[in-house]
Structure 1
Amino acid sequence: MKQTFKMFSMVLVILLLSNCKENKEKKKEIAKFQVPVEYYKLDNGLKVILSQDKTSPTAIVAAYYNIGFRIEPRDRTGFAHLFEHMMFQGSKNLGKMEFVKLIQQNGGVLNGSTRFDFTNYFEIVPSHKLETMLWAEADRMRGLDITQENLTNQQGVVKNEVKVNVLNQPYGGFPWLDMPQYANTNWNNAHNFYGDLEDLDAANLEDVASFFKTYYAPNNAAISVVGDFEIEETKAWIEKYFGNIPSAELPAQPDISEPRQEVEKDTIKDDALANKPAIALAYHMPERNTPEYYAMGLLDQILLQGDNGLLKQKLEKEKGYTSDLGGGINYLGNMFNYKGPMLWMYNFTYDTETSKENILTSIDEVMTDVKTNMSQEMIDKAIIKVRSQLYDDLGGFFGLGRADLLCSFALFDDDPDRINYIEDEFKKVTPEIMLKTIDEYLRKTNRTILRVNPLLANNEKTE
């Protein structure tokens, strides 16, 4: 009897432990955040991503075109950005500025931007206005009101942007516009993508019409709809408004690759409007989606992001050289929404009494320490920071971050579901991969240093 009871007790314990394990696994599964993704393509090549979220009675329509700064025409610097402005100047059924009024008068917000590898437009509206927004986006994809008056007007607007944001601004263009021109060697990555004033003036109606016909075709675009909507109803609207827009013959993509940097670069930019020196350091990134790419994402978290970033601890807390250290991967977005070569970069201002040599010595100490102390524990803590940042991006501004990643992954990878396994890729990174990445990508010969000389009263360059 005692033996039977003992065996029964053992079986009961095993069952309880087994149930406990199953419950933990179930909780783990439930706790994992999963973005709903429905992905398909229209017959004309338009990529469509639907992600339903009924927590708020709003909907986002995001239209992304596979054209950014990198592949704009030579001798037409800033053209991709100029064209972004043209997209708000009227279409077949919506006159000048009527697109903007349509969204705003229905309680929505909108914007557009030009990045390295795409130009995007989005509207966030009450969900009952979703069909109207899809119609409006399709209307301007179908055809713009391309007139000399609209072109001349927007050339003036963009030129004023350049003057206000770059030419007449302390630290104007530093380092987001300047650094790619110094660190890169391929023209596609190294030209002034905001636009030289002469190039902006040189744009003509033929350029605009050709650019629109070539790059603003449905087979060069992706649209995502995120928020409160019915899937089948939305699919029907998308087919109705976008389905018969003709596709275009797309040109061959230029070679946008960068050669391996073999020598450290060090450059000074004079700035009569700056009141103190500044420095930026940039390193070429590994190719997207490689193990080293994800390792660099973790190194960004370890070295730079948050108050516990090792560079912040050294340069701000310990040395007191600065109080405004900032940076990351892709100053015009995040580490996921680009396609071609990219820089990991950081910058800060500092006092004239602080020498460049002391700054670089402190930075080199941090780089040595991170390699010496690399461990799985360090990686695990960085993954927590990555997860936190990713969830902030996905949920921020009514889910616009979600729409952005869905369109980016559709355009660049033909796989918007990547949004659901980003974190898994970071978890594959080992200490060995981290050390390999440090050796190859954080070496001094992969580094570009750009300093701002504030042209002080005595006209001496700060060192």
Structure 2
Amino acid sequence: MIKHGRLMRAALLAAPLLAFAIAPGAAMAGEPAVQSATPSAGQVPVEYHKLANGLKVVISPDHSVPTTTIGVYYGIGFRIEPRNRTGFAHLFEHMMFQGSQNLGKAEFIGLVNKNGGVLNGSTRFDFTNYFEVVPSNTTETFLWAEADRMKGLDITQANLANQQAVVKNEVKVNVLNQPYGGFPWLDLPQLANTNWYNAHNFYGDLKEIDAATLEDVQAFFKQYYAPNNAVLVIAGDVDPAEVMGWVNTYFGAIPAAPKIERPDVSEPRQTEEKRKEKIDPLAPQPAVAWAYHVPPKGTPELAAFRLIDLLLIQGKDSRFSQVLVNRKGYSDSVDGGINWPLGDAYDYNGPMLWSGMMIHGPDVSDDQIITDIDGIVKDLQTNLVSPAELTRAKTKARSALYDTLGNGNRVGLVNLLACFALFDDDPGRINMLEKEIDQVTPELIRKTAREYLRPTNRTIIDLKPGNAAAETAK
């Protein structure tokens, strides 16, 4: 049985798209916010405004900790980056730290550090985000700083060349020269999807990263890094009226960009299983990964699939862990999830996969593992999940939600508020998530499993260690 750290590997897989890890309606600005009523117990307070330039602003006051978490989310991720410029969205994330009109190179980071805060940025399927957690008495300062780089970056050839080198080095370190590099988080979407926007190498081909020009960067910034393609979230120890005054002062005059024409990112229904073999010369053990297309966003079936994820793969009490790990001893863990490992079941806006993987010993074949998975899935498709097991899954779902909403740094809270505003124009949906969990029935779980856990809706990648593959070929 191969030993490998679940948390360590999950962190490694998520790290490539992180640039830094340092220490229902809306109101126009000046009008009462639609979602501003005093929340009931357990509800997240949400104020939602829009500026005249299209900037969406979400404020969630919380005076339990004297800090503020500020998040700026732009509606551009690697899914819709330019053709022949794979990795461009991630490259541009790096450019956002290269200086702006009033803050020179790395001065934004220095400003956060000097005030005892932390910051980060990441590129995901459908957004690029930047956030900082800072003392609440510096809230105005960092709203000014975020507005300064939204107004304009210091886009120079030297800065571009520097960050091209940084990103290429990330690709080499985290994918090309790493055991299981890109497996399966880069590999599965490229095989399972047919639409280029969902199926290209979003970390970037080295030649295409090199091909990016200064003009490309300037055009990308002008098109996507505009207030009408962004959400600003302020959560923490703040006064909403005061915050809106600062937001109007610093962001209000930034001009909107022309409306973005979004490409068609839809995927056809998969009707045949896809399977391929990958040779990894650095991998010490074989591995297998699988993926299924999940139901469309906003459907009861997707709510059911979130619970299916908990039933099958999340936690040591999950069915996959009980059978594949505890009973069969194939590995010490099974990893996976919806939008795994780059996000969660809420922070995307297009077709998505539910995927999983196991690194295992050479004494078991991938076919045997897949056969066992089919047996577990077949039971879910045939029999209604028991009340006790469904209750346990719902409890796990609520617990994960409470952990996200109650975390002291508020980063998870900001992420949900920003994504619901950016994608659904409804940050108040955050207070409906528990209801969505409660409404899932055993019958809906069985119906969803039958349609979306079909073998013909599945993609499989068999990873073979290079040395073992070479021996087999002799």
TM-based fold match above 0.5: yes
Q: Does the 8 Å contact 1:277/1:352 carry over to 2?
A: yes
Q: Does the 8 Å contact 1:215/1:250 carry over to 2?
A: no
- For the residue of structure 2 that corresponds to 1:226, the secondary structure is strand
1:191-206 to structure 2, matched below 5 A, reads: 191-206=200-215
Relative to structure 1, is the Cα distance of residues 223 and 292 closer, same or farther in structure 2, using a 3 angstrom cutoff?
Answer: same
Shift of 1:32: 4.9
Whole-angstrom distance in 1 between the partners of 2:196 and 2:411: 32
| Structure 2: 5+ residue stretches without partners | 1-38
For residue 463 of structure 2, what is the aligned residue in structure 1? 452
Residue from 247, 251, 258 that aligns with 1:249: 258
Taking structure 1 as the reference length, the TM-score comes to 0.92
For residue 36 of structure 2, what is the aligned residue in structure 1? none
Relative to structure 1, is the Cα distance of residues 418 and 461 closer, same or farther in structure 2, using a 3 angstrom cutoff?
Answer: farther
Q: Does the 8 Å contact 2:383/2:446 carry over to 1?
A: no
Shift of 1:457: 5.1
Whole-angstrom distance in 2 between the partners of 1:336 and 1:347: 21
Q: Does the 8 Å contact 2:292/2:355 carry over to 1?
A: yes
Q: Which amino acid aligns with 2:445?
A: M
Q: Does the 8 Å contact 2:287/2:366 carry over to 1?
A: no
Whole-angstrom distance in 2 between the partners of 1:129 and 1:222: 20
Whole-angstrom distance in 2 between the partners of 1:119 and 1:254: 17
**Cα deviations by residue, 1:294-342 (Å, 9 ceiling, x for unpaired):** 0100100111111110011000001001112111011211100101110
**Cα deviations by residue, 1:401-459 (Å, 9 ceiling, x for unpaired):** 00000000000000000000011112222222212211110010001011211022571
Larger radius of gyration between Structure 1 and Structure 2: 1
345-354 or 364-373, larger mean C-alpha shift: 364-373
Q: Does the 8 Å contact 2:310/2:396 carry over to 1?
A: yes
Relative to structure 1, is the Cα distance of residues 458 and 244 closer, same or farther in structure 2, using a 3 angstrom cutoff?
Answer: closer
Residue from 357, 364, 367 that aligns with 1:354: 364
Whole-angstrom distance in 1 between the partners of 2:159 and 2:370: 49
Q: Does the 8 Å contact 1:60/1:123 carry over to 2?
A: yes
**Cα deviations by residue, 1:149-176 (Å, 9 ceiling, x for unpaired):** 0000000000000000000000001111
Relative to structure 1, is the Cα distance of residues 351 and 237 closer, same or farther in structure 2, using a 3 angstrom cutoff?
Answer: same
Shift of 1:111: 0.7
Whole-angstrom distance in 2 between the partners of 1:172 and 1:394: 32
For residue 218 of structure 1, what is the aligned residue in structure 2? 227
- For the residue of structure 1 that corresponds to 2:409, the secondary structure is helix
For residue 5 of structure 1, what is the aligned residue in structure 2? none
Whole-angstrom distance in 2 between the partners of 1:397 and 1:323: 31
For residue 341 of structure 1, what is the aligned residue in structure 2? 351
1:367 and 2:377 matched: yes
For residue 82 of structure 2, what is the aligned residue in structure 1? 73
For residue 440 of structure 2, what is the aligned residue in structure 1? 429
% of aligned pairs identical?
59
1:281 and 2:294 matched: no
User: Cα RMSD between the aligned structures?
Assistant: 1.4
For residue 384 of structure 1, what is the aligned residue in structure 2? 395
**Cα deviations by residue, 1:161-218 (Å, 9 ceiling, x for unpaired):** 0000000000001111111111111000000000000000000011000000000000
Whole-angstrom distance in 2 between the partners of 1:286 and 1:191: 21
Q: Does the 8 Å contact 1:301/1:385 carry over to 2?
A: yes
1:19-168 to structure 2, matched below 5 A, reads: 32-168=41-177
Q: Does the 8 Å contact 2:231/2:422 carry over to 1?
A: yes
Shift of 1:250: 2.3
1:231-250 to structure 2, matched below 5 A, reads: 231-250=240-259
Q: Which amino acid aligns with 1:116?
A: F
Taking structure 2 as the reference length, the TM-score comes to 0.89
391-400 or 165-174, larger mean C-alpha shift: 391-400
Whole-angstrom distance in 1 between the partners of 2:469 and 2:442: 50
How many residue pairs match? The answer is: 433
Q: Does the 8 Å contact 2:233/2:418 carry over to 1?
A: yes
Whole-angstrom distance in 2 between the partners of 1:87 and 1:335: 27
Shift of 1:275: 0.2
For residue 415 of structure 1, what is the aligned residue in structure 2? 426
Q: Does the 8 Å contact 1:453/1:461 carry over to 2?
A: no
- For the residue of structure 2 that corresponds to 1:113, the secondary structure is strand
424-433 or 182-191, larger mean C-alpha shift: 424-433
**Cα deviations by residue, 1:96-115 (Å, 9 ceiling, x for unpaired):** 11111011111011110000
Q: Which amino acid aligns with 2:277?
A: I
Relative to structure 1, is the Cα distance of residues 116 and 458 closer, same or farther in structure 2, using a 3 angstrom cutoff?
Answer: closer
**Cα deviations by residue, 1:212-231 (Å, 9 ceiling, x for unpaired):** 00000000000100111111
245-254 or 428-437, larger mean C-alpha shift: 428-437
Relative to structure 1, is the Cα distance of residues 436 and 101 closer, same or farther in structure 2, using a 3 angstrom cutoff?
Answer: same
Whole-angstrom distance in 2 between the partners of 1:90 and 1:345: 38
Whole-angstrom distance in 1 between the partners of 2:393 and 2:42: 19
Whole-angstrom distance in 1 between the partners of 2:386 and 2:299: 19
Whole-angstrom distance in 1 between the partners of 2:122 and 2:468: 38
Q: Which amino acid aligns with 2:250?
A: Y
Whole-angstrom distance in 2 between the partners of 1:266 and 1:323: 24
Q: Does the 8 Å contact 1:69/1:78 carry over to 2?
A: yes
Shift of 1:142: 0.3
Shift of 1:360: 1.4
- For the residue of structure 2 that corresponds to 1:223, the secondary structure is strand
- For the residue of structure 2 that corresponds to 1:117, the secondary structure is coil
**Cα deviations by residue, 1:356-391 (Å, 9 ceiling, x for unpaired):** 222112111111222333236133321111101111
